[in-house]
Every structure is written in C-alpha cells, then in structure tokens.
Structure 1
Amino acid sequence: MTTEHDFFGALESDEHGGIYWSETVEVGDQPVDVSVSSPGDRTVTVEGLDTAAGFVSSLDGLDLRAREAMLSDVDNRSSDVTSFIEATVEEVGEDLPEMLVDRSGDNDVDIIRSLQLIRVAIHPHQTGEGAPFAAFEFAFDPDNSDLALVVSLSNRGESVGIELLE
C-alpha cells in the first residue's frame, strides 16, 4: 500500500504496513540525515504527516529549541547533558578550545553551541501529549567519538526528554 502526501510524495509501506522516508537536508551549513518512519502497527494520520513536513521545513528553529533544552539541563549536575559535557571534556582534553565554534568562557554553553546536529528521526504516529515525535541527535566530534545527545521533542516542538548515547 502507498500513502500519498504533498510534501513527502509516495510513502511506500513495508510488508508489515510501516512507512519510511529519508533525505539529507541542509541545516545551517551542514548536511543532516532526516527520516520519517512509523511501524506497521501504528496509525499515521494526514495531520501527523503534515506536522512531520512542518518539522522538516523548520529544522533550523527546532535545532535551536533542542539546544535551549540542553542548556536548561546544564545546572542539573545529574543530568545526561552534564554527563555528556564531562565525558566530552575528558575525551577531547586539551584540544577542546580549538574545537569550539564560539568561546564565551563558559565551557558548558560553548560545547552545546559547538554540537553538530547529525540526525533527526521523526515519528508521525507519536502525536500524543508529551510523546517523542522527533529525536534530534547531536555529537561534538562525530568522526572520533561515539558520544551523542538525543533531544526528543513533542509534535509541538517542546522538549520531552534528553538522553545520552554512549
């Protein structure tokens, strides 16, 4: 079965009824892998696909929201954001100042500003209140580290969780 959508075009279903779309999209000056997917046992509405299309079209602003969510967790010393920052500082060592995009003197802020958005996964079936509609994956040095932070946003663009991936 094929689902048609104005933005995504023809979305083919797999043998279980799941849908998948992917594209590399420029966000700022960097390419980002963006995917839209839903398992076959979930219902995807036209509104969910429209919201997903809006997310793809608004990645720059949503990237900023995700970074703001990370910044709001910096003061929580037990947060995944703080753990990520500490691990990054340890991993990068004395090369950190040269790797920062901007140097304000606040390493936590500077590291978050320097993160690269590498992947966005959108789940158009996750439209409930507080559900993780999109996952934004960030890395400081993606070519040399497996560390990543994933910020989940609701279909309204609000942060619903931040997770450290090691």
Structure 2
Amino acid sequence: MKAALVLACCLLARAAGAVEPVAPPAIYPPDTWQGRADAVMRVQDRLDAHIETLTIPAGGSASFKSLTIAVQGCLQHPPGLPSDNAARLTVTDRHAAASGYDGWMFTAEPFVGVFQSPVYGVHLVSCAGAEVAPAAPPLPPPVAPPAMPPAALGPLPPTND
C-alpha cells in the first residue's frame, strides 16, 4: 500500500511536468549566541539545604550569605538551535580559606565550569530578560534549489507489491 502511494505520487509529479523542490529551513550556525540582560542562578547552601534562585543583571552582582556573584554577561542560543545558556561569572566567598571562581558556566555542560566549594553550590539556570548585544544576525531567506525536469529524474523505481 505504501509503495503504491509513493509510485502514485511520482507519476503525478511526472505528469505535472517538473518536480518543485522545497527550500530547506533557514537555521543559525551552531556557534551563534544571543545576549540577554539577566542571568538566573541557583545557589545552594549545603549545610542547611537552603536553595535560592537569584536573577542577576549583566554587569551587576548579588549576594547569598558569604558569597558574592558578579555577572559580566549572559548568552543563549537563538531559537532553532539546541538550548544552551552561558554566563561569564566571578564568584567570591568572604570566608578566609574559600576559593573563588572566575570563568564561564553553561547550562548544557554544567561540569565544564564548576564553583568548587564544600559549603555552596552555584549553577546557571538560564539567561533571561531583554535581548542585548551580541545580537543574533537575521536569518537568510530560504532558497529552493532549481526545479528538475522530469527527464532528469530517471526511470521509476520498481514496486514490490
């Protein structure tokens, strides 16, 4: 049944003259990022299991107990690409022996950039807010390949019915 339907479609396309190709969808290159105004961070105090979600504007900072989290920028993939967010952060802890963090954190790869602390966990949840620089470029209009004449299609495939 399925093969007969495919054969009927091929015969109708040949009878109509040329096969009209469909334009592929326009998509962004995989390394395209869109800036966002805010970084949404999840911070956990492992001693008392307190979790707080902080929305920090790019260029600003926020505090959680003895931590200070400064966000230099937040980026996300535009629609049409796999979901991912990246934030450039500086995390400092006021405790004397605590280490800090200065680098990028990603939502799709949470173990690439890790703030290492026995007391606190800091994770990027997402980027939010208004779109800011860098802006994703406009997508190019889709272009369909040229139509093929029926003779270029070759003979019809045999059916197995």
TM-score by length of structure 1 reads: 0.25
- Which has the greater radius of gyration? 2
| The structure with more strand, counted as a fraction of residues | 2
TM-score by length of structure 2 reads: 0.25
| The structure with more helix, counted as a fraction of residues | 1
